[in-house]
Structures are given as C-alpha cells and as structure tokens.
Amino acid sequence: MKSFSELMQEKDFNSITTAEIARNGSVTEGLIYKYFKDKKDLLYQVLNEHFTAFQARVETRIAMEESSISKLEVIIFTSLESYAENRLLSKMLMLEVRNSLAFFNSCAYGMVRKYAATILEIIQQGIASGELKPETDPYLLRKVILGAIEHACLGEIIFARELDIDHTSSGISEIVFNGARA
C-alpha cells in the first residue's frame, strides 16, 4: 500500500503496473496477490484509509457547530479542503474509482456511505428544528450538496487549476441555502 501510494503521486491508476508496484515495494508481483484480491482492491484499501481520516476530521469539526446549516457549511468547506489538499487522490477518486462496480462493494465505499449518512442526519435535524424548509426532500438536498461539491472541484482537479476554497464553499452555501433568485 505504501509503494502504491507513492506511485500514485506520480501517475494515474492505469499507468501504474503491478510490476512497478512490486519493484517499488521490493517484493515480487505474486506477493501482492496474497494480500489483495486484485489491483483495484489495493486501490480501494488505500482510499479506505484516506476516507477514514477524512471522516474523523469532519466529525470533529461538526461537533463544534451549533446549527444544522453551519454544520453543513463546515462539511462543504472541509470536503473542498480535502479535495484541494489531496489533488492526486481526488483525481483518482473522481475519474478512476467509480468506473468499476466493484468499488460499490468495497470497504472504501462503506466510508462514503457513512459520510453520506452523516449529512442526511444533519439535514433531517435541520428540518425538524425548523432551520430548513419543512417540504425539503432530505435525500435530494443531500444530492445537490454532494453534487455541487464534486462538480465544483472537477474542472480544477482535472486541469490542475487552483481552487479558491473560501469563495467556492461560501458560494455553494449561499446558493443552496438562500437560493440564486433575486
């Protein structure tokens, strides 16, 4: 996993060969398959470690917020921050991970679900407390938030443009919570 993570800093998933991973890790190719089902399984386990750390960071931060909306704002900000901090990993996540159905059975996807569950709970609390409109579909609001976060980073990640986290996260929050209509 260490060897693979190192190589991920240099090149994308399909360009990394199992021979390279083995060589870089000073083991033989065969050994990889003693510990990992296949090359993708190796990737998913690396992602799982990353997601676990991210989830911990998110939970620490939202514990410090009072209102549901400010919790959601913190989630938006922290997500963007994480994308910006781990550009190569994010690129892999957005471009290469989802293209296999195996991902959706992996432990890494389990962490994604946990993250999504956290967001849903906050939204439901917000509706219950009257902060959010009672007619809001919580699942749909979650989708809009997650979609906005991801799409906001997509272009900047792919084309290696810099990402203004503050402007982007406050802009998303403004649109999602207050609406774009004048």
Residues that bind a copy of itself (CB under 8 A): 14, 69, 94-96, 98-99, 101, 104, 130-134, 136-137, 140-141, 143-144, 146-152, 154-155, 158-159, 167-168, 171-172, 175-182
Q: What is the DSSP letter of 182?
A: -
Q: Which does 11 bind (CB under 5 to 8 A by kind): DNA, a copy of itself, none?
A: none
Question: Shortest approach of a copy of itself to residue 9 CB, angstroms?
Answer: 17
Complex with a copy of itself: residue 20 or 150, whichever CB lies closer? 150
What type of residue is 54?
F
Complex with a copy of itself: residue 17 or 28, whichever CB lies closer? 17
Question: Shortest approach of a copy of itself to residue 57 CB, angstroms?
Answer: 22
Question: Shortest approach of DNA to residue 88 CB, angstroms?
Answer: 17
For residue 8, count other CB atoms closer than 10 A to its CB: 19
Interface with DNA (CB under 7 A): 14, 16-19, 27-31, 33-34, 38-40
Q: Which does 102 bind (CB under 5 to 8 A by kind): a copy of itself, DNA, none?
A: none
Question: Shortest approach of a copy of itself to residue 94 CB, angstroms?
Answer: 7
For residue 179, count other CB atoms closer than 10 A to its CB: 8
Question: Is 174:167 a contact under the CB 8 Å cutoff?
Answer: no
- Please state at what angle helix 138-158 crosses helix 107-128, rounded to 10 degrees: 130
Question: Is 132:123 a contact under the CB 8 Å cutoff?
Answer: yes
C-alpha 150/C-alpha 140 separation (Å) is 15
DSSP-based three-state secondary structure for 1: coil
Complex with a copy of itself: residue 57 or 98, whichever CB lies closer? 98
For the record, the structure tokens of 37 come out as: 């089902």
Q: Which does 128 bind (CB under 5 to 8 A by kind): a copy of itself, DNA, none?
A: none
> What backbone torsions phi and psi does residue 129 show, to the nearest 5 degrees?
-85, -5
